[in-house]
Chain A
Amino acid sequence: MTGSIEFEDGNCASGFSSRKPLSIDVDASSSSVSESVTASESTDHLSAEAAELSEETGYSFSLFRLNYLVVTLVIMLADGLQGKKTFLEMVHNQALIASLNQWH
């Protein structure tokens, strides 16, 4: 049973470490400890990335929503100030179609 993990500081260890591995040398009979280290770290890394991506998408969506709603608000105000309600009817209709179709 041989195997080693080389860390950024040049040392090797077979135990848990918070340091980031540079290279992993594992033969077929390597210990389960070193496998669990890499699996655990890559899972952490992936979930962190996913969370980051989700956060980024959420932020991006919030900006997009705010952007569209501000335009809706001012266009609706302008429309209403002229005594019209074109935009109101359009928005109502659009929302209903969205609820009917969910997605085209």
Chain B
Amino acid sequence: MHLSTNGTDLIYTGTHLYVLYDGYGFSVASLYCLGFITGAVTAPITGPMIDKFGRKKSALLYCFLEIGINMLEQFPFLTGLIISRMVGGVTTNLLSTVFEAWVDTEYRRRGFNEASYEKLMRDSVVISNIAAIASGYLAHILAEQLGPVGPFEGAVACTIVAFAVVLLLWTENYGLSKDAENNAENNTDNTTSSKVSNGKLWETISIIKSDWRILRICITQGLTMGSLQIFIFLWSPLLKEFSLGAPKDTIGLDSEGEPAYGLIFGCFMMAGVVGGLCSPSCRKLVTLLLSPLSKKSSIPDTVTVDGEQVRSMDVEFQGSMCYFVCSALLFFPSLRSASDPSSFHTTLLSFVAYEVIVGIYSPCEGVIRSLYIPPESRASMMTIPRFIVNVAVAVGVISTELVS
């Protein structure tokens, strides 16, 4: 709220969507939430559509659309930006579904050693962490060399590489049985996938009806992801505002006294990685603290994580503590004044700490889901938080516009 009073009046240079759109002089909040509304509307149908259309084709479609979006975003043309944001809502849904579905199915189809699947996932976590941190630095360099559109040009180049690899090396797979897969290839049977998606929808509803804790988990996790998305939207204008009163040699500012957006983003990514690494130790600490309580009660629900038994009460307590600390860290900047020279670095510090806590919390989400949601329904259940995220972000972003 504090930022929204001044945020839209500023002209930004640097990286990322907020900076770019605001530089064009358009309503950043409206454009941003447009993508989330589109995402909310298309989320329930994305999964079944991908299963039917084919994962490879969907991945190619994702790359194609992303290249188009990133090219459109390089021009201050309102219609183009509106289209890019709407398509962006669809591509976000594609991104969170296509690649995971393809690798899972392809791995099984090729009959690789089951134990290696986890190793493959670990490798992808390492690679994605390195890429996330590097992308911040790369964005900073590209923004300095080519201006605010530089990072988007870089994104186009990267997506072209992804398109080429998928086109040349990936094989097609579908989310149906072998027979249905053949039918889908021949386009002769369109009823199977709709039956599957209808069945999954009813299954999801019946599971929620049978245990209301599942709905509570979906809402909680949806709101958590939503707050993170709103943070991604708001951190750059807030730091920009606070940078005006900060000394020029403050850490986090570039040579022109602007926030070094790319480097700060890379720093956030690194903080998230550190948090993720600390998560198991935090859980052990919580287990140690809560062990006197569990002795009096019956045997609690447990799940095995990396060969260790994790109790539900421990992970839930850890999650609750993360919520509490996150809310305090996000509330902190609203107590600061833009004219105070220390506001920039203290706010930056609170944001880095927030990212560490998000890193600690993220594994808890998966553990909680595995405790309460049946494995076969987990994918379809995840549609609900995704829908909540999109609605929550759209409402949150619009509210900042109204307040300003």
Tally of B interface residues using CB under 8 Å: 76
- Is B363 located at the chain interface by the 8 A CB criterion? yes
- A7-15, A28-36, A78-86: which lies at the interface: A78-86
Give the A interface residue count (CB, 8 A). 43
Contact B128 A76 (CB under 8 A): yes
B36 to chain A, nearest CB (A): 12
A59→B334 CA distance, assembly (Å): 55
* B170 and A67 within 8 A (CB): yes
Q: Is B207 part of the binding interface, using a Cβ–Cβ cutoff of 8 Å?
A: no
A82 touches B17 (CB 8 A): yes
A16: interface (CB < 8 Å): no
Question: B117 an interface residue at 8 Å Cβ cutoff?
Answer: yes
The smallest beta-carbon distance between B119 and chain A, in angstroms, is 8
B307: nearest residue on chain A (CB-CB)? Answer: A99
Q: Are A100 and B121 within 8 A (Cβ)? A: no
Contact B363 A96 (CB under 8 A): yes
Q: Within 8 Å of chain B (Cβ to Cβ): is A43?
A: no
Nearest CB on B from A69, distance (A)? 5
A104: chain B residues within 8 A (beta carbon): 375-376
A64 CB, nearest partner CB in chain B, Å:
7
Which of A61, A71, A79, A97 touches B370 (beta carbons < 8 Å)?
A97
Q: Is the CB of B15 within 8 A of A83?
A: yes
Known A-B contacts A60-B110, A77-B135; the reply to A92 vs B362 at CB < 8 A is yes
Interface pair A101/B154, CB less than 8 Å apart: no
- Per the bound structure, the CA–CA distance linking A102 and B154 in Å amounts to 36
Task: Collect the chain B residues with CB atoms within 8 Å of residue A99's CB.
Answer: 118, 121, 305-306
B100:A94 contact, CB within 8 angstroms = yes
Q: How far is the CA of A92 from the CA of B228 in the complex (A)?
A: 15
Known: A67-B165, A67-B169. A95 touches B121 (CB 8 A): yes
**Given A67-B170, A82-B16, A77 contacting B117 (CB threshold 8 A):** no
Chain A interface residues toward B at CB < 8 A: 57, 60-61, 64-65, 67-104
Q: What are 5 contact pairs spanning A and B, CB under 8 A?
A: A64-B107, A83-B17, A90-B99, A92-B362, A99-B118
